[in-house]
Amino acid sequence: MTQAKKSSPNLFLLGLRSIVFFIFQVTTLFIFAPLVLLSFPFSYSVRYAIASTWAKLVIKGLKTICKLDFKVTGAENIKGNGIIFCKHQSAWETFALQVMFPQQCWVLKKELLWIPLFGWALALTQPIAINRSKKSQSFKQIIEQGTDRLTSGRWVVIFPEGTRTAPGEKKKYMIGGALLAEKSGYPVIPVAHNAGEFWKRNAFIKYPGTIQVRIGEMVDSKTLSARELNQTMQNWIEGQMDLISNKAP
């Protein structure tokens, strides 16, 4: 079991750091989002490079301002491209995955694209924006657009729980990502982390420490059914969560 919060800074210091980070995050967003929009005439690679630069700056800002770092185990398992099954506890992983993996797109709820500036820039990175209330349509979209993105050489990021879960909370993994793997033939790779213990969902305060990230071995989707793949990913990710979670309040 890892030791998360090695120090306990007072609430004032935590709040001050979080305010400074928020200002940094918003300021850089208002710089990079327009740049992504202005890069519309250029290639996807150019637009993605600009967007991912912002994500990497956010991660650096967290380390510098909030003293929140991360440690990765299993980076050597990242080969070629495939489908990422990632634990979803925080906003942190949406930025950090862009540091750990090459070009990628995300399966996300289409409502995010309606957010002024941020959502408009996000749309230009070609995410797979689904209507979660229409499951059969969403699965079809994930398979069709996901296969297209994979064929182009990108990774496809799936948060199989569908929403952020609090530390210690477990939800059923949805089948969409596994169906994409089964139909496309691309491998899957699991990612577990305990970011929710430091940057809680819907929370303003960011706690200092080191987030533990574990990346598993890539699994050949051609040897398993979608249900078997989904269960394999869930077993591995949740098993790792039991090992790295602090279970601290």
| Residue 176 token pair | 């969409």
Tell me the C-alpha distance between 69 and 120, whole Å: 29
* First-to-final CA distance of the chain: 15
Q: Crossing angle of helices 176-184/226-244, nearest 10°?
A: 130
**Which CA distances in Å does 235 have to 41, 50, 170, 178?**
43, 35, 11, 14
Tell me the C-alpha distance between 90 and 28, whole Å: 20
| Residue 119 token pair | 């959502």
Give pLDDT tens digits along the chain (249 positions). 444 444 556 889 999 999 999 999 999 999 999 999 999 999 999 999 999 999 999 999 999 999 999 999 999 999 999 999 999 999 999 999 999 999 999 999 999 999 999 999 999 999 999 988 888 899 999 999 999 999 999 999 999 998 899 998 889 999 999 999 999 999 999 999 999 999 998 899 999 999 999 999 999 999 899 999 999 999 999 999 999 987 543
Half-sphere exposure of 119 (CA within 13 A, CB side): 10
Strand partners, 188: 83, 219
| Residue 184 token pair | 């496309």
